[in-house]
Amino acid sequence: MPVDPAILTDLEGALAARDAVERGRAGERLADLFFSRAPTLSEEHVALFDDVLEKLVGDITFRARVELAERFADCPNAPRKVVFGFASDDEIRVARPVLERSHRLDIDALLRIAREKGQDHLTAIAKRPSVPEALTDALLERGGRRVVVTAAGNPGAAFSADGTAILVARAQSDDALVRALAERDDAFSGRIAALVAKARATVRETLTAETGADPEMLGALIERIGGELAQKGDKRTLLGQFAEPMAAMQERAAEQGLTEIDALGALLDGKAAEALCVIAIVQGVPVEFVARAFHAATYAPILVLARASDFGWKTVRHLLKAKLGRIPPDVLMEDARATYERLGPATARRVLRQALAKERGLRQ
């Protein structure tokens, strides 16, 4: 289909504007023109608008971007690059409408945003009418409690086997998550409810709602982990190894803060020392303490540190791989994961504090 000469003239006129304010106004006028003709535009025409609007939206006022994002979110043939630009905007008031509703964002675009943006953006994605398994996996990997509860309560969200296991593990100690799942009113909700009930019945023997752990189990953990951490570490490992990575991680923490992503990125790059420094900074403990946990005879101490930091299983798996220097045997991984899922973050932090106190007492 030939391109309408009138459209070309309008597009050329918009690009001819030199002043930023005028370019912004031209962008708004061009967007209005797009909406007036959208029902009759071919994809070829839409692509032309897309190319020009993409160059102008940066000069459009914030208020206008918010308004345009709302309009583009429900437009069935909205320009894809412009929509992605709005979805990637750091300002959630611009990003939210298209993240929640636009059908012009494909799975690759959504995954990219889910892996790069913050919790507000992840929450908006979790509200989409349809959230496929690959996307919920990404949301569960990076999302905090609000993101997980939002996705769990969305009847349009599908979960993989791994995602389902994560939901079951989290739901054992999160009543809000259980309520969100119950509101789905579908087969998935019933299946999850049964799994959570079974898991809670098992865990109830050793964990309590108030403290997060049965006193006997807690005492055993403190005794076992505290004793292991009090042992002397390998001097070649503990002395001088962390000065450079600790300085780098402290600088990053001061500039932008540290999250699980920093630890996982370091592990994926083969930089275990940096990952241990992230844990030490996040938990406010000496890095040597973390190193001894990492090099202990069993994986229990490093699991406690990871759980205290509320790391996802993917990060923990790479942490164990780095500890062993190879992919751990399936039987070890299954046992480690079962232990990790039974140990709530609050309990892990309590164990960590008491183990640290025990170690300090033994070293005095």
CB of 181 closer than 8 Å to CB of 174: no
* pLDDT for 207: 37
Q: Residue 232 burial by CB count (10 A; 0-12/13-18/19+): exposed, middle or buried?
A: exposed
**Domain chopping of the chain, boundaries:** 1-105, 119-204, 215-363
Q: Which residues are CB-contacts of 269 (< 8 A; sequence separation ≥ 6)? A: none
Per-residue pLDDT tens digits for 244-274: 888 889 988 888 888 899 999 999 988 989 9
- In total, the chain counts a number of residues equal to 364
* pLDDT for 218: 46
CA distances from 147 to 258, 301, 339 (A): 19, 29, 24
Neighbours of 235 (CB within 10 A): 8
CB of 107 closer than 8 Å to CB of 132: yes
CA distances from 79 to 40, 49, 136 (A): 14, 7, 25
% of the chain residues with pLDDT over 90: 34
Round to whole Å and give the CA distance between 296 and 232: 10
Of 1-10, 85-94, 99-108, 184-193, minimum mean pLDDT range:
1-10
Per-residue pLDDT tens digits for 330-342: 666 777 788 788 8
- Residue 6: pLDDT over 80: no
Of 13-17, 46-50, 74-78, 274-278, minimum mean pLDDT range:
13-17
Task: Look up the pTM and report it.
Answer: 0.55
CA angle 320, 178, 87 (to 5 degrees): 75
- Residue 205: pLDDT over 50: no
The span from the first CA to the last CA of the chain, in angstroms, equals 83
Band (pLDDT 50/70/90 cuts) for residue 227 is very low
Q: In 268-319, where do the E strands start and end?
A: none
Round to whole Å and give the CA distance between 48 and 108: 22
Q: What is the mean pLDDT of residues 81-107?
A: 96
Neighbours of 330 (CB within 10 A): 8
Which 8-state DSSP code applies to residue 157?
Answer: B
Tokens for 326, please give them: 């190879």
Band (pLDDT 50/70/90 cuts) for residue 237 is very low
Round to whole Å and give the CA distance between 87 and 154: 20
What is the maximal distance between C-alpha atoms in the chain? 85
Per-residue pLDDT tens digits for 288-328: 888 888 877 677 788 888 999 999 999 999 998 888 777 76
Most confident of 56-65, 90-99, 208-217: 90-99
Identity of residue 255: E
3-state secondary structure of 159: coil
% of the chain residues with pLDDT over 70: 78
